Amino acid sequence: MAELKREETNDRFGNSPIKEKVSWLWSEYSVIIAFAIIFIVASIASPRFMDIDNLLNILMHVSIIGIVSLGMTIVMLSGGIDLSVGSVLALIGVVTVLALNATGSILAAVFVALAFGSFVGLLNGLMVAKGKIASFIATLGMMAGARSIALYLADGGSLSGEVTGFSAIANSSLWIFDYPIIIFIIMTVLTYVLMHKTRFGRYVYAIGSNEKAALLSAIRIDRVKLLVYSLAGLYVGVAAIIETSRLNSISSSSSGMLYELDAIAAVIIGGTRMTGGRGKIIGTFFGVLILGILSNMMNLMNISPHLQGFVKGLIIIVAVVFQKRE
């Protein structure tokens, strides 16, 4: 009788519909729940947090890394990783300023940035898909190479644009929203549609879940990976345009520094698995916002900026631990 009662108790509490529903809600919406909690804590911790100017400043601050994170999400969903995004952003910025000064055309500079970003991403894709080099190693090499070329082209310093109108890209606004915020939101929507509503998105998820099974399903894995890394490079190109336009200059040594850490942190916090095949674009969007709120909260509380890297690293570890428990 005691064993029967114990089994009934387990059925009643251990496998109850309520527990299963709570588990499902946490699995699907954990990043949104975490965002809400952090937002509430931040609003309580500092009365200045809820100022509209401060909230817009957070959105503006995360727009660049947010765009990079969207591209990183696509890569990580495919089972890869891109460590080169920060250095490539600096290199694209340098090339963009050189093109801007040489042609005097903003349109030409923007085209060069997007084309060059896609080309660098394609090189990463070729190393991974055709060269069969692990994405970690391939993009690590690109990270070192891109930063070195950027330093060489800029003589180790900064380059300034000679066309003043170029700065309008990042410093103009529509109503109360600056253009970078609008670009970030639009690209989030477009990336969501691409990854969740198209055949390409289904292929990326399939490759990240089980590459061998995807190959047996007649998916052209090499082509998909080439497109994945090219898209990631394109996203970095968009971010580089905004970064360069913001001050109408680019630093070959400091621009894009540790952006790969921020992007990976945002993607993992958003629920995308390191092994690929599972994750959501909307999760990355909220992951970026969480990082932005944390940084802003630490600034408002006068916490040393040197500790922010520690906090981001700790968040990555905790997020991975929770993923393994699912």
Give the CA radius of gyration of the chain: 22
Length of the chain, please? Answer: 326
**Residue 307: its pLDDT value, please?**
81
Distance CA 245, CA 239 (A): 10
- Give, in order, the Cα–Cα distances in Å from 111 to each of 173, 237, 253: 22, 9, 24
- At 3-19, the pLDDT tens digits run 444 444 455 445 567 77
Cβ distance 150 to 158 under 8 Å? no
Cβ distance 121 to 80 under 8 Å? no
- At 151-201, the pLDDT tens digits run 999 999 999 998 989 999 999 999 889 999 999 999 999 999 999 999 999
CATH class of the domain comprising 61-325: mainly alpha
Listed by start position, the domains of the chain span: 61-325
**Residue 24: its pLDDT value, please?**
65
Q: Which helix (H) or strand (E) holds 40?
A: helix 17-45
Q: pTM for this one?
A: 0.91
In sequence order, the 6+-apart residues with CB closer than 8 A to the CB of 324 are none
Low-confidence ranges of the chain (pLDDT < 70): 1-16, 21-27, 322-326
Q: How many CA atoms within 13 Å lie on the side-chain side of 281? A: 22
